[in-house]
């Protein structure tokens, strides 16, 4: 896909611009896709004001192939906490994400199609395709089950009515028979049964449509969720190897040696800024070990630290192998953990 040129400035907050720079998404692509930062009030104009939380974030316009005006939007929230949704959309929004400029490739079976979960990943891999001189159509599903949609309502033998789900109608925009289709879901496929089941079911549907299906397995690494995160962490060559090494469903996983960087490429990568979570103690992607004799107060200190980090908006998983649950509950109650969002035990 050629990102072309666009004279309109990309309206992005600094932290969004930095994020896309790490993902190596070119500004002409962001401009053609009309990606832009939104305030809470601006977001409510796009997705509705029925949400009870802050919608400030990044807006992804959704276009029908060949159309110049978006038919809907999804907003990626900056400040999602706990179980709050990261992405929000208008009621009834169920659309796949096609980047502008791909309409001429949708029926071209010689062009592989890559299915990813998010708009951000679709942008990152589309930018990669241009740099690597690859010809791909990258489609965002809006989640691992986004390829499925409500197709109607049927009546059971007892007279009750139930919804019927099936293939998302937007998939009919692609010619799949005889085409290479690569599923590149997030790195949690091996650890999350829901995502694994979605990948398997989607593979079956694509094969039924006549596609030659392969699965690209993104390696589960600290700080890496989707293929966009992997690209930012390990670079273009490593991500291209992941795509090229995609195997048939149920086939062998990517060899870590093949996915690793050679030493020259590794040393040429720019170091990312270290995020300090607790001064002189905790850094993101770091490991801190604390030792002391029994009875000094390590558990009390760890409990308070876990609560404080959760209240700062971070997700904390507290593992206690040394104490029975009743003692752990007593300690968390004493430190006022009741109602803290983002803390699990």
Q: Strand 180-183 to strand 161-167: parallel, antiparallel, or no bridges (unpaired)?
A: unpaired
Mean pLDDT, range 237-247, rounded to an integer: 91
Predicted local distance difference test score (pLDDT) of residue 222: 81
Q: Can you tell me the mean pLDDT for 116-138?
A: 95
Other C-beta atoms lying within 10 Å of the C-beta of residue 73: 21
Confidence of residue 252 (pLDDT cuts 50, 70, 90): low
pLDDT top residue among 256 and 202: 202
Mean pLDDT of 285-305: 86
C-alpha to C-alpha distances, 64 to 3, 69, 71, 101, nearest whole angstrom: 17, 8, 7, 11
Contact predicate 82/313, CB 8 Å: no
Q: How confident is the model at residue 220 (pLDDT cuts 50, 70, 90)?
A: confident
The pLDDT of residue 100 is 87
The pTM (predicted TM-score) of the whole model is 0.69
Average pLDDT over residues 280-286: 81
User: What mean pLDDT comes out for the span 254-268?
Assistant: 72
pLDDT band at 3; cut points 50, 70, 90:
very low
Between 109-118, 176-185, 261-270, 273-282, the lowest mean confidence (pLDDT) is in 261-270
Residue 338: pLDDT above 80? Answer: yes
> Measured between alpha carbons, how far is 190 from 134 in angstroms, rounded to an integer?
28
Between 84 and 255, the more confident residue is 84
Which of 12-21, 82-91, 93-102, 217-226: highest mean pLDDT? 12-21
CA 116/CA 146 separation, integer angstroms: 10
Rounded Cα–Cα distance for residues 187 and 191 (Å) = 8
Please state, in angstroms and rounded to a whole number, the distance separating the CA atoms of residues 190 and 197: 10
Summarize the confidence of residues 202-206 as an average pLDDT. 94
Confidence of residue 261 (pLDDT cuts 50, 70, 90): confident
Q: What is the pLDDT of residues 155-189, one digit of tens each?
A: 766 777 777 777 888 999 999 999 999 999 999 99
Residue 19 has pLDDT above 80, yes or no: yes
| pLDDT band per the 50, 70, 90 thresholds, residue 248 | confident
Residue 61 has pLDDT above 90, yes or no: yes
Q: What percent of the chain has pLDDT over 90?
A: 43
DSSP string, 116-141: ESSHHHHHHHHHHHHHTT---EEEE-
How far apart, in whole angstroms, are the C-alpha atoms of residue 123 and residue 100? 11
- In this predicted structure, the answer to whether residue 4 has a pLDDT above a threshold of 50 is no
| Domains, in order of start, for the chain | 14-268 (3.40.1360.10), 276-344 (no CATH)
Mean pLDDT for the chain overall: 86
């Amino acid at each position: 896909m050629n990102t072309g040129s666009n004279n309109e400035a990309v309206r992005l907050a600094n932290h969004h611009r930095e994020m896309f720079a790490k993902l190596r998404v070119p500004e002409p692509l962001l401009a053609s896709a009309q990606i832009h930062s939104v305030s809470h009030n601006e977001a409510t104009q796009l997705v509705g004001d029925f949400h009870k939380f802050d919608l400030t974030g990044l807006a992804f316009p959704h276009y029908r192939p060949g159309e110049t005006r978006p038919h809907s939007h999804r907003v990626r929230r900056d400040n999602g906490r706990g179980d709050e949704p990261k992405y929000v959309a208008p009621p009834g929004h169920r659309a796949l994400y096609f980047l502008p400029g791909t309409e001429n490739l949708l029926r071209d079976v010689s062009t592989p199609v890559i299915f990813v979960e998010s708009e951000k990943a679709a942008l990152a891999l589309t930018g990669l395709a241009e740099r690597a001189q690859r010809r791909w159509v990258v489609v965002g599903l809006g989640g691992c089950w986004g390829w499925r949609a409500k197709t109607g309502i049927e009546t059971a033998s007892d007279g009750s009515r139930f919804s019927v789900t099936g293939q998302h109608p937007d998939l009919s925009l692609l010619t799949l028979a005889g085409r290479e289709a690569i599923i590149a879901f997030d790195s949690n496929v091996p650890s999350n049964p829901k995502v694994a089941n979605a990948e398997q079911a989607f593979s079956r549907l694509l094969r039924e449509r006549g596609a030659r299906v392969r699965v690209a397995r993104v390696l589960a690494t600290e700080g890496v969720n989707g293929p966009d995160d992997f690209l930012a962490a390990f670079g273009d060559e490593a991500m291209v190897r992941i795509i090229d090494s995609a195997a048939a469903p149920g086939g062998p996983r990517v060899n870590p040696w093949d996915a690793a960087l050679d030493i020259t490429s590794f040393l040429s990568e720019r170091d990312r800024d270290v995020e300090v979570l607790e001064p002189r103690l905790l850094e993101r992607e770091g490991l801190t070990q604390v030792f002391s004799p029994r009875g000094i107060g390590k558990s009390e200190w760890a409990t308070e630290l876990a609560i404080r980090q959760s209240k700062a908006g971070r997700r904390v998983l507290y593992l206690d192998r040394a104490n029975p649950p009743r003692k752990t509950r007593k300690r968390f109650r004493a430190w006022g953990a009741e109602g803290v969002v983002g803390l699990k035990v």
